[in-house]
Structure 1
Amino acid sequence: MAGTELERRLRARFSRSNVGQAWAEPKNNADEDSSDDEEESFAQDLLANSDRLIAGRGGANLRPGNIFALRCKDANQHDPSKAVVRSVQFHSSGELLLTAGLDKTLRFFQVDGEENSKVHGVMLKDLPITQAAFTADDQVILSGDKPHFYYYDVQSGVVQRVPSIRNAAGKAQSTLAKFALSPNGEWIAFAASAGYIMLVSAKTKQWAADFKLNCSVEALVFSPDSRYILASGRDAEVYKFDVRHSRCVQRMYNEGGTGTTGLDISPPQPHRYMAVGSESGVVNIYDSVAATAASAGSIGVYRPKPLHAIMNLTTPATIVKFNSDSQVLAIASSEKKDALRLVHVTTGTVFANWPTQRTPLGYPFCLDFSPSSNFLAVGNDKGRVLLYRLIPYSGTRA
């Protein structure tokens, strides 16, 4: 389905189910308003006084040092969350954004940086949402700290509850709070209890296989080709599981030795990186191809050297996320206020000028880049989804 058609259907459904309903306006306290105004003025001054901000499309050859971000209206300004925002994600075809959180509500917004109009909303009465994500065939998977999960079908508007899934031994998992979706659209990998990863068919929603870590699963992601699941936890090892053969093919030790709290792999082109965030706040960046090459013969613990070690966070790095061209890595901690940094991946250096002391991030719990990286959305503890336009990827003066 094209992005425009997806948006049209969601809007039509919203109009039918919300006739006469006034959208909520965001309510900020005086301190937050002051911070917003100061930061917007700061950004406008930068735009007015620096020719360096006229950037080409795509962020080609992004330079280290400074990156300029212009504050926009909140992405969810027309319907802020009533609790912590735990998931934000842009649709792959454009700037349709989903938000979800502990107020049990999935919302869709059309992000343009100015109006950011609400498209649709769905409430799940029995599921405080800890994660939500688009599938390749335009469903949305929604999970929480429960043994069941939901999926929302965009085309039909139907919300379907999937009861607890049992494995081959008949055992059901007690929580399905975290998951990863395979890029090819075939699989959902849930981080279940007791170190298990439960592999589920994205089409049938039926159990397919189990994988096991020697510790709790704190982070997981599929490889870009969907052949492998990479997962890590308290033992600081990244496990590589072969999906087709249902077995572990490699264990990689993350240098530093503290438990893993975040994990991401960059898009396959132009260069593949892997980022591993730890309890100490250190984020290591590896060459993904070298670090995850399948071992021949017996499985040992591989100990590659990271390309870069980022040490700008002092609390657990709960978020690590590459942008679309692998030049920017966002790292953040939900355990400390305003703890978010953007990293220039090639050099492994943090952009020094943003965020500033006047950037009112709050406690960041989730974030996502838009498909072209011109927007960065950050969900926080106040129920807001802060929106920033990244000038190097905007193509024009913003």
Structure 2
Amino acid sequence: GRVHQDDEESESNVDDSAPPAMLPAWQDDDDLGLTVDVMAGASRMRKLRRDRTEHRLAGEEYEARLRAQFEATQPSTSWAALPKKRKSKKQRSRDEDTIRAVDPDDLDSDDSDDSDATLERKVEAQLRHGSSSILCASTSLPAKELSVKRTTDLNAAGISSSSVSTVDWHPNAQLALTSGFDKTVRLFRIDGQRNTLIQSVHL
């Protein structure tokens, strides 16, 4: 009995605190004093501006905008994400209830009862489990503003010799298939910039 009690006491004295947050592998102190002129040089730097009056960006802001642009155009790198704590069944069930509670038409509403943080959590949960219901279920576009971004043509790397009659998307929106009257099926990897031709099959 005595040994068993000592074991229980030693287990209760174990520190349950979380490990310290991981630091970046590389941090350049020169970036703090850096100012980047986005109007000079290549026109692709101008895309980093949020309005036409911006001409210079601080180093940290420049890095943040480059990172955001990269994440928006490149496939997700799940292998590089830090491991998260495993959710309990109760938490998973709560997340699923939140997902079911999201009405896509409510995402654009200005309901004062719902805080921005709550809405953001709902949208994140919905996007984690597939965005098809958000993309398909909404019946109307936002009334005030529609965001449009010009990207490279889907089939720029393998243009069809006739009109394209069919386009089909993979559920993760990173692959697209085109076909047309030239009897050729083409598979593209979509990144918004190069849209690489993966394979072309003549039927």
- Fold shared per TM-score above 0.5: no
Greater per-residue helix proportion:
2
TM range (shorter): 0.3 to 0.5
Which structure would you say has the larger RCO, counting Cα contacts within 8 Å and 6 or more residues apart?
Answer: 1
TM-score by length of 2: 0.33
Greater per-residue strand proportion:
1
